[in-house]
């Protein structure tokens, strides 16, 4: 079932509807949602192959609820969840999170294309803001609604990630990002124009989360691991077999940094 089957206005996601939607997407009741959430459009166990080892090595406990994982130690709890691929699907998940009163801070992790001149595959971008081309929020918010990271979180994440990946030979960037409405929207002309505007990376989800989090006063920051380099001749279908082991290790180090940020 799609959340649109609820047939309700956007501002009516509350009470029973919110309870159903939160349980359906995240496997938890809204009142059980922790204050800090990590969300990804990727499949968690494929994205973080060493999830169990990374979590337990830090003295934390991990329990699965549907497609989500709750990580905790003593009184501290975090949920690691899947938001779905693409702006439309991710908008549903982000909208639900932003209506959960307990949720105060959201960390995004995803992959994207690198379009900055100095950006290479397996690099990382921690976006400070997003150019909004996703289009899916126009019925709710004006096109110029801000899509910005909480710079305190972003700066701390950058510092932790740089420390974790310093021996891998990759760069950690911090700059503008763009979110496209669908994969094939990334034409060479559009990507070149975004590059001129200062964008370092592109994806299909992040600006949706940033915009909703800004509107509903949630603290938010994102981490993008670069895959394809469409302006440098490395398309998606080739990037998936390029530096595979390095990218897996980058994911493990990013998860390590995120957990340290959330629990230490």
pLDDT tens by residue, 101-160: 999 999 999 999 999 999 999 999 999 999 999 989 988 899 899 999 999 999 999 999
Q: How confident is the model at residue 10 (pLDDT cuts 50, 70, 90)?
A: very low
Q: CB–CB of 126/144 below 8 Å?
A: no
Q: Determine the average pLDDT of the residues in 68-85.
A: 94
Residue 86 has pLDDT above 60, yes or no: yes
User: Is 205:179 a contact under the CB 8 Å cutoff?
Assistant: yes
Give pLDDT tens digits for 107-120. Answer: 999 999 999 999 99
Select from 130, 41, 137 the least CA-distant residue to 95.
137
What does the buried/exposed string (b/e) look like for 82-110 if buried means 16 or more CB atoms within 10 Å of the residue's CB? bbbbbbbbbbbbbbbbbbbeebebbbbbb
Question: pTM to 2 decimals?
Answer: 0.92
| Whole-number Å distance between alpha carbons of 96 and 153 | 22
Predicted local distance difference test score (pLDDT) of residue 3? 45
What is the Cα gyration radius of the chain? 18
- DSSP letter for each residue of 190-243: HHHHHHHTTEEEEESSHHHHHHHHHHTT-EEEEEEEE--BTTTTB-HHHHTTSS
Q: What is the pLDDT of residues 196-238, one digit of tens each?
A: 999 999 999 999 999 999 999 999 999 999 999 999 999 999 9
- Residue 160: half-sphere exposure toward Cβ, Cα within 13 Å: 20
Mean pLDDT of 148-176: 98
176 or 17, higher pLDDT? 176
Q: Is the pLDDT of residue 55 over 80?
A: yes
Q: Domain residues of the chain, as ranges?
A: 3-263
pLDDT of residue 6: 41
CATH of domain 3-263: 3.40.50.1580
């Amino acid at each position: 079932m799609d959340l649109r089957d609820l047939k309700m206005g956007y501002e009516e996601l509350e009470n029973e509807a919110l309870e159903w939607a939160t349980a359906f997407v995240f496997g938890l009741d809204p009142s059980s949602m922790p204050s800090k959430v990590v969300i990804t459009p990727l499949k968690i166990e494929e994205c973080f192959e060493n999830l169990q080892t990374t979590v337990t090595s830090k003295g934390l406990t991990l329990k699965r609820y549907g497609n989500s994982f709750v990580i905790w130690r003593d009184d501290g709890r975090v949920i690691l969840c899947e938001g779905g691929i693409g702006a439309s699907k991710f908008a549903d998940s982000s909208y639900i999170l932003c209506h959960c009163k307990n949720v105060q801070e959201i960390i995004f992790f995803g992959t994207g294309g690198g379009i900055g001149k100095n950006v290479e595959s397996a690099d990382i971008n921690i976006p400070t803001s997003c150019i909004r081309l996703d289009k899916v929020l126009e019925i709710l918010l004006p096109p110029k609604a801000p899509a910005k990271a909480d710079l305190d979180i972003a700066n701390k994440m950058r510092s932790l990630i740089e420390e974790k990946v310093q021996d891998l030979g990759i760069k950690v960037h911090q700059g503008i990002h763009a979110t496209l409405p669908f994969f094939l929207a990334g034409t060479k002309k559009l990507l070149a124009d975004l590059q001129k505007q200062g964008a370092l990376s592109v994806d299909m989800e992040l600006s949706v989360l940033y915009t909703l989090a800004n509107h509903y006063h949630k603290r938010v920051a994102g981490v993008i691991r670069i895959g394809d380099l469409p302006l440098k001749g490395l398309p998606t279908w080739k990037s998936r077999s390029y530096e595979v082991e390095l990218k897996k290790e980058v994911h493990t180090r990013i998860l390590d940094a995120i957990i340290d940020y959330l629990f230490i």
